[in-house]
Amino acid sequence: MYFLCKNKEEFEENKKFYLEETQEKDEKELEEYIIYKKGVPLNCMWILAIQYRARSLESWLLYKNIKKFKKNCYIAGKLNLLHESRSDWAYSGYNVSNFFKILMSDNKDLSKFLIKNIDIICCEPKPNYHRGIYSNLFLNRSTLLALKGDWENLKKRCDIFLNDIPKDMKKRILDFEFFQGLAEKNIDKMKEALNKLLIPKNAKIAAYDTEAYFDFYLQVQVLMYGKIASIHGYDLGIDHELAPKELIKYDPLLDGEYEDPYDFMKEFDYNAPQSEWIEKYSPKD
């Protein structure tokens, strides 16, 4: 468990630090700022999301409670979505930090929203360009194409990347080898890529600083990609200390089990442009 950290001491430090965030911190005040549109409501949503990321950590690391883990990932993932200040919010950041919590929740509404709005969320100024400042966007869009099941475009992008690998993206080779296997419906290739990501050195390099609250004790890429494979009906047989099968298996909770703890969350319309939500909760001059 400790090989994503330097040692047990670092692991325990991370664990203690993140678990402290599970405590309620001015939740009522933050909710009032959002409801009455005081200050910067979108930032308040982000602060609330942090608490539920920590509660997701607690649910699995301490209690191995898969149902609570999914419920808390749902809340954290939805709040992360709601706090974004621009519709093309996956223009930057790692795919794991953008999509991990949503996919780990197994919530159909959130996943459908990502798929439906892929051209907005991952709008590419230069289509299929994978270098420089667009390298993370390229990976983000490829991830959502995998979720969508757009095999033709996903395979095209894998070929682009694997035939011309940017120096600063070498640690993402296995990501695209997995996507290539998925696009080709090649189970062995998918397994090989994810198993290589579980080799201690690879696991640590790939996960480092990608998803706080999770990346110090879970191999987040293996979990997220294994989840996408499971969504498409593949059981890759992975069950590892850093990637437990319970977290990989796609098994949505009953609709009524996903709960929005704050009234403002219930207002979000999955069928409306996200720009309307952003406008509603952005500070007015």
Cα–Cα distances (Å) from 106 to 53, 73, 148, 164, 250, in that order, read: 15, 9, 14, 34, 6
pLDDT digits (tens, 9 = 90+) for 209-263: 999 999 999 999 999 999 999 999 999 999 999 999 999 999 999 989 999 999 9
Q: Where are the domains of the chain?
A: 2-281
Q: Does residue 1 have a pLDDT over 70?
A: no
What distance in Å separates the CA atoms of residue 249 and residue 66, rounded to the nearest whole number?
11
**For the chain, how are helix, strand and coil distributed in percent, rounded to 5?**
65, 0, 35
- Decide: helix, strand or coil at residue 147: helix
Indicate the pLDDT class of residue 22, thresholds 50, 70 and 90. confident
Among candidate residues 206, 212, 221, the one with its CA nearest the CA of residue 80: 212
Token representation of residue 213? 């609250």
pLDDT of residue 169: 97
